Amino acid sequence: MEKTHLRKLGLANLKWLHKQSEVKAKKEQDISQALFNDFYWKKAQTIAVTKPLDFEFDTHILLDQGWQEGKQIVMPIAGAKRQLTFHSITPETIFKKSLFGVEEPVAAPEVSAEVIDLVVVPGIVFTLEGFRIGFGGGYYDRFLEQYQGETCSLVFSEQIQENWQVEPFDLPVKRLFIS
């Protein structure tokens, strides 16, 4: 199956799950607890997370837990040449919607990718080996080519699709947390 079709199927699955609010909330709780109990989370001091669209995994629980544990939370801003820069946020940070509809921090200090210990990589479709299909801009693919730290994704079982051809430039995340 081609990626464009899988992306549409994945988005439909996520939007369907969003309507099953109790089921989605339970899955988010299970996945979050697995992440918080994992070595990746425990050892990380600086964690990169995105603000979700309403049908995506609600990462606000990660923000709250991270700040409670004294971790630095950073969020990406999509820039020129499809590059991501990461910016330190606090509970007081102001956000604005990007052209893609994603909330990005305003006037937040930029942080070098080298200090990020763990990147929670978003996606729409995943294989069990950690390969992913995102929204199609290639921002995370470009970032992951250079990034040397730990990566994971928080995945609903409805996002798993094994019947697609991984391309040479596709890079897997190192760990999936699935429910």
* 45's tokens: 């001091």
Residue 134 annotated as binding site: yes
Residue 6 annotated as binding site: yes
pLDDT for the residue 1: 66
Residue 101 annotated as binding site: no
- Each residue of 60-74: pLDDT tens digit? 999 999 999 999 999
- Each residue of 34-56: pLDDT tens digit? 999 999 999 999 999 999 999 99
pTM of the model: 0.95
Rounded-to-integer distance, Cα 117 and Cα 114, Å: 8
Is residue 101 classed exposed, middle or buried when 0-12, 13-18 and 19+ CB atoms within 10 A define those classes?
exposed
Residue 3 annotated as binding site: yes
Residue 147 annotated as binding site: no
Residue 56 annotated as binding site: yes
Residue ranges in the chain modelled with pLDDT below 50: none
Residue 149 annotated as binding site: no
Q: Output the DSSP codes for 18-46.
A: HHSHHHHHHHHHHHHHHHHTSHHHHH-SE
Residue 40 annotated as binding site: no
pLDDT for the residue 113: 95
Rounded-to-integer distance, Cα 93 and Cα 131, Å: 32
Residue 9 annotated as binding site: no
User: What fold is seen in the domain 3-178?
Assistant: Rossmann fold (3.40.50)
pLDDT for the residue 107: 87
